[in-house]
Structure 1
Amino acid sequence: MSQTQSQTAESSRSPLIASLPSDHSEFSEIRQRMVDDQVRPLEVNDPRIITAMRNLPRELAVPPAERGFAYADRTLPLGNGRYLLQPMLTARIVQTARIAAGERVLIVAAGTGYLASVVASLNAHVVALESEAELVRQGHAYTDVTAPGIIWHQGPLAEGAPENAPYDIIIFDGAIREIPSFCVTQLAADGRIVGMMGKSGDICSAFLAEPDRAGTANGAAGTFEGWATRLSFDAPAPLIQELLPIPAFAF
């Protein structure tokens, strides 16, 4: 697949989908318990998020070996350095973004598309960016079932998805050390960035960043001055390795 957006699903079905039994209703009760025990107690009060997570088949978004843990309070490996964040992290990150219907949202390191599907359930226009070809294939298969309107873009994470920019919101599906430079040009002037920021160790802080611009005398937008960032809760989250800063050369 080329490094351009792809809106057509692969003709072959992903093993995440094909290996499921024809009847997976046994997950329904566990899904409801996940929301009641892990999501709602943590001040996730947006009814749209609650409804989405009660209905989206999280078990379809993980490899067969992890399916028994799909609704556990843990982050699960997807392969190729990507992870499915634990349910409470997904819910709280999406709530932090304050997504309104019709907004354009870029999901970076989208994995198999679960978080992208939650966001799409809020009537947002979603672009899912993933660099790993196999995960893009699996993500297509998942979102063809859960949120057919999602646009998938395969390409380097550090370059974003300029073809569909600007975005009202950019969400990182994993932790980052710093905001990548592509956000400067691909985020709308009044947009926001959401994710987990990890400065050191395993604990990260949820953040919401907005452009900090120098205004002019009449209040019009001026030059870009960086990011105005607000931190909220702390939680462990895996770093998106592809977006780690390149170490500076030292003599």
Structure 2
Amino acid sequence: MQHLAGRVAVVTGAGSGIGRVTSERLAARGCHLALVDVSPGGIQETAELVRRAGVTASTHVADVSDADRVGELPDEVLATHGAVHVLVNNAGVTSAGAFAEERLEDVRWMVGVNMWGVVHGCHAFLPTLLEQDEAHIVNVSSMTGLLGLPHNATYALTKGAVKSFTEGLRGELITTNVGVSTIFPGTHRTNITGSARGAEGERIAKLGASRVSRFMPPPSRVAKAIVKAIEKEKPRMVVGPDARVLDLAARLAPGRTGLVGRATSRLAAKH
């Protein structure tokens, strides 16, 4: 997109972390925001932050796994802003632990948010995006979408699906006014681990809340990549040194995760 000033962006998972910082960065470019999150308090706080940049911000409480609720969002956003030019499908959840110990209800929960949330957002907003003079979709995957990691198999399932879906969608829309990008973040300092499920979910949540998290890169790196992808029409952005290592490993030794599996199995056994 040539210019973001005066445009309207929908950001899911905007109540905290990457979604919040992305919203702030878009607002700094003069972009108006429609903030979507399952947490009313979170998006209200984000709205107050982005309004300081002098832009309009609306809040929309929604669980992105709910197709009917997401289907209502375009009309709500159009009623407030009159247009939609950017869609950032960022909302996500995680789990940790061996797949054999996963509960199917937790698998469905993750697939609902991480995979169906992206599909619902694209399906609901694409007709409106196609009506604009220029528009862009950003789908946030993960470094596990590049190379599936042991003890993260379900998360990798969802993020790998986002990768493939987004690549296919970009191909379909390449001759239209809608650009499409995939973002592959590595480990960053967000609160996604706070709601983690799975056999190792509690341990991961404690790790995310510990002092160790201070050494993780800030979510602003990912937000910067998202905005760059929109402005420069980048098809993919790999963010973080760990993500770049996995990207290289996926190219040089695809499917060879046995070494990582042995290491994570030993680590899990200690806990």
Return the TM-score normalized by structure 1.
0.40
Return the TM-score normalized by structure 2.
0.37
Higher relative contact order (CA 8 A, sep 6+): 2
- Greater helix content: 2
- Greater strand content: 1
